[in-house]
Structure 1
Amino acid sequence: MLSGSSLMFGMLGFTFIENYGLIDAFYMTVTTIATVGFGEIHPFSAAGRLFVSVFIIYNLVVVAYLVSVLSAFIFDGQLQKIYRMFRTDQEIKRFSGHVIVCGFGRNGRRAYQELRASGARVVVIESSEELMKSITDGHTGEDYDGEGLAGGKIFTVFGDATSDNVLKQAGVERASALITSLPKDADNVFVALSARALNPRLKIIARASLKTSESKLLFAGANSVVMPDEIGGSHMAKLVVRPEVIRFLDLISGLSADKLRLEEMTFEQLRKDLRGASIRQLDVRSLTGATVIGMRTASGSLLVSPPMDYVPTPGDVLLVLGSEEQIQRFEVAFRHLEIK
């Protein structure tokens, strides 16, 4: 833009002051800007010499400005930041089956940590670059698109999560799930509506502050709605009336130092040679130390402490509780490994 305005300014000056034709005016403008000094087509008038002097000073200022901008990009890290963001965008385009977290406030951050701890690949959508920078600087001392909160790179798309283009940039059409934890319920409704339209198979978990927003979010396409304030109040009350139950739940949720892990395994993930065996025959506790505490059947009903003679069928999901080591042994002993 600056070079174009300089070219136009020079051609107009040479045309009206020195009465040059279009080609001659263009030639003199280019040679003056380039400082090659080929000389005048004909001697300048006093007004022409004054114009050329001003024109040269103007172009020196333009060049100095361009040099300062380029220096800022190189030395202030702007060019490197743009390159990192471009590289991140290219990496996200290769993601499939990942989870998108919209909003990186307290709830979004906690969801991100849990997902990363479970080995899930996560893409964050956040409108505030300063927020991401302050969070990651506090943990790693690096920039917002450096090494992340729970280890590993935080793949971040900066923008408004209610925008279809931003959701597409985060790979919503290839994602397996989306968590929207924006501060405003109306924004979460809009995200759920847009995400559902872009990916009908997407699992959507939405945050709500008001009870009246729950039905709207479900209608917009959310599979589940979570109200943190309501859960927090209930949790505090139960610490008074049933403290040991809550302490046990804290073990499962990871809020306690000696945390337990609650894992699920579908019938299809079970080793093929174990399909058709009853809970008793699987003998999970003796082999791994973990315990089968529940079963979600294919019909949707939940069995707590399923009968020992119950035989899992296609569509069933085993719920297993144990320490981290016990669950790892369970995974090794019972999970079907797909050979690709």
Structure 2
Amino acid sequence: MQFVMKFLFSQLAFFSQTSGARRNQRLLLRFLLFLTGMISIYSVLFHVLMLYEGREYSWVTGFYWALTVMSTLGFGDITFHSDLGLVFTIIVLVTGIIFMLIVLPFTFIQFFWVPWLEEHAKNRAPKQLSPEIRDHVIITNLDPITMKLVEKLERRNYEYVIVTGDQQYGAELWDSGYKVVIGEPDDPETFRRLRVERAAMVVATNDDLINTNISFTVREISEHVPIVSTADNEHSLDILKFPGNTQVFQFMKMLGESLAERTQGFGSATTRVSNFDKLLIGEISAKRTSLAGKIIAETDLRQKSGAIIIGLWEKGNFEVPQPETMIHPSTLLLLAGTEEQLVMFEKYYTLPGTEYSGDDPVLILGGGRVGVAAAGRLKEYGIPYRIVEKKGSLAGAGNDFIHGDAADLNVLKQAGIEQARAVIITTHNDAMNIYLSFYCRQLRPEVQLICRATNERNVAKLHMAGADLVLSYASMGANAVINVLKTDEISMFTEGLNIFSLPMPAVLAGKTLVESRIRPLTGCSVVAIRNAQGLLVGPDPMIPLNGDDDLILIGTTEAEKKFTDLF
């Protein structure tokens, strides 16, 4: 009973909190007074007409009759006998239907129930964090990048919070399972309630104007908390860096340049996709090497070059290398080694005649920011390109731009699809990218097809449609932020893999890599060992492991978790 009373008083207190709630309360009260007056008038008329028929009832009976007739209950225990009384009954019945069965529920819902539900929904998300929280990540916008970032933070047991000034939107995010705090991101008090001075990082992925405002707001409270921000425009870089942002990313430009760098013949034969200290990660298509058709045990890769195969990609499916693993022409090899070792790999294993032909252009389908960035990167290396863009406002001038629909065969022929060495698909619409991937694959089965994916869930579909390589915009952005947060780990957005460093587990000290069975047990591969002498890339699997060394491993997030759980 005490709980019920407390709940009732708390809900009634809601109607005195805001001017809107008080206004609704007055309107509802006015209607109830009007309805009460109508029932009172009908009760008086009931007595008058009953006296006309020679009958007399109490005042309570009059109210009882008026309520039962207006609510259409109509028990029938009290009725009029005269025509005048019956006409009065009909009038009472009709007005009761209108005001008690239609207007009253609508008024109650409009001025009481809906406001209460909305306020209840808004109050589900908290307005501040616990005073004890620390080392958390504050996110100011939820988009494909930060959605992927939240997944990675949860897997790594990082606390995070999304801040929004829209209470309804915040309630929806809260119901969806996100950790949310309600507050305006340009209000210093909001960040005080978010304990920003103890945060590990602030991530701002709004537009350039809002990001600038957020950065200055955070710096007003804390001079040291790292701020990672995005910039849509080139001229915003200096402005966003002024408040002392730790890192400002142009993700669209990064994605376009990365797409271009995956083109066959771009720079060296092996594309460098990541690095960890002096350790480089490179990728190369097996059909450009003499390794196609062999199993890994037959390659003598470690003996000749020092580089090692740390993974194989077959149409988007990652495979941990085993001695008996077959290398197919369609396989994308993932290599690890120093710069010298990768150069030696190219010397011994790259096939002659697979270099880029200067006469064959690269087709870029989509002339937005990503497509223009890809073109700029190709131009730096003297690689000819053609941009196909449907929108006249985006299509540039000159022979490098083709104004037309990339789904039109004549447009693609005009752009040079029949001679193109590679096709880069850069539109922001994943459905369109899937369509264009399939279309281009049917036109040119042998062409290299590189594609952008905005959402991670569409990566597999793009591979099914024929793309050789898919780069995820969401993964790229999320991994770039994670790389700033965790300096002992490098996330590779092209493959969804992580390179990470861990102290040597005590249970492995004294064992060899073969005896440790790290790869079969966890799916992680040891690519290097770091000790007092430096970095040992591709360590001999038969040397004993030293307890003072650090292991540098590569694997998926799930494989990393298995390793930490097991060792």
Q: Write the deviation string for residues 201-232 of structure 1: whole angstroms up to 9, x where unpaired.
A: 53322111233433444442222222111022
The residue aligned with 2:221 is 198
**TM-fit CA distance, 1:116:** 3.6
Structure with the largest fraction of helix:
1
The residue aligned with 2:111 is 72
**TM-fit CA distance, 1:264:** 2.7
Contact (CA 8 Å) 1:263, 1:327: kept in 2 or not?
no
**TM-fit CA distance, 1:286:** 6.3
The residue aligned with 1:233 is 256
**TM-fit CA distance, 1:273:** 6.9
Structure 2 residue 147 is the aligned partner of structure 1 residue 147: no
- Helix, strand or coil at the partner of 1:115: helix
- Going from structure 1 to structure 2, the CA distance change for 1:60 and 1:332 (only over 3 Å counts) comes to closer
Letter of the 1:291 partner, please give it: S
**TM-fit CA distance, 1:180:** 0.8
- Going from structure 1 to structure 2, the CA distance change for 1:263 and 1:73 (only over 3 Å counts) comes to farther
Q: Could you tell me the TM-score, scaled by structure 2's length?
A: 0.35
**TM-fit CA distance, 1:103:** 1.8
Q: Write the deviation string for residues 178-198 of structure 1: whole angstroms up to 9, x where unpaired.
A: 1111112x4323433433453
- Going from structure 1 to structure 2, the CA distance change for 1:222 and 1:307 (only over 3 Å counts) comes to farther
1:210 to 233, 236, 247: 233
The residue aligned with 2:188 is 164
Write the distance in 2 (CA, Å) between the matches of 1:60 and 1:208: 49
The residue aligned with 2:553 is 320
2:164 to 102, 122, 126: 126
Matches within 5 A, 1:1-340: 63-64=29-30, 72-76=111-115, 77-85=117-125, 88-89=126-127, 95-128=133-166, 132=169, 143-148=171-176, 152-159=177-184, 161-184=185-208, 186-241=209-264, 256-257=459-460, 260-262=496-498, 264-267=500-503, 271=505, 284-285=518-519, 288-293=522-527, 305=537, 319-334=552-567
- Going from structure 1 to structure 2, the CA distance change for 1:193 and 1:69 (only over 3 Å counts) comes to farther
Contact (CA 8 Å) 1:289, 1:322: kept in 2 or not?
yes
Contact (CA 8 Å) 2:138, 2:199: kept in 1 or not?
yes
Q: Could you tell me the TM-score, scaled by structure 1's length?
A: 0.54
User: Across the two proteins, how many residue pairs are aligned to each other?
Assistant: 252
Contact (CA 8 Å) 2:211, 2:229: kept in 1 or not?
yes
Contact (CA 8 Å) 2:129, 2:195: kept in 1 or not?
no
The residue aligned with 1:13 is none
**TM-fit CA distance, 1:272:** 6.1
- Going from structure 1 to structure 2, the CA distance change for 1:206 and 1:71 (only over 3 Å counts) comes to same
**TM-fit CA distance, 1:90:** 5.2
Write the distance in 2 (CA, Å) between the matches of 1:96 and 1:66: 52
Contact (CA 8 Å) 1:125, 1:158: kept in 2 or not?
yes
- Helix, strand or coil at the partner of 1:262: strand
**TM-fit CA distance, 1:332:** 1.9
The residue aligned with 1:136 is none
- What RMSD, in angstroms, separates the aligned Cα atoms of the two structures? 4.8
Write the distance in 2 (CA, Å) between the matches of 1:70 and 1:127: 26
Contact (CA 8 Å) 1:100, 1:178: kept in 2 or not?
yes
Question: How many percent of aligned residue pairs carry the same amino acid?
Answer: 18
Contact (CA 8 Å) 2:162, 2:178: kept in 1 or not?
no
Letter of the 1:213 partner, please give it: S
Structure with the largest fraction of strand:
2
- Going from structure 1 to structure 2, the CA distance change for 1:285 and 1:105 (only over 3 Å counts) comes to closer
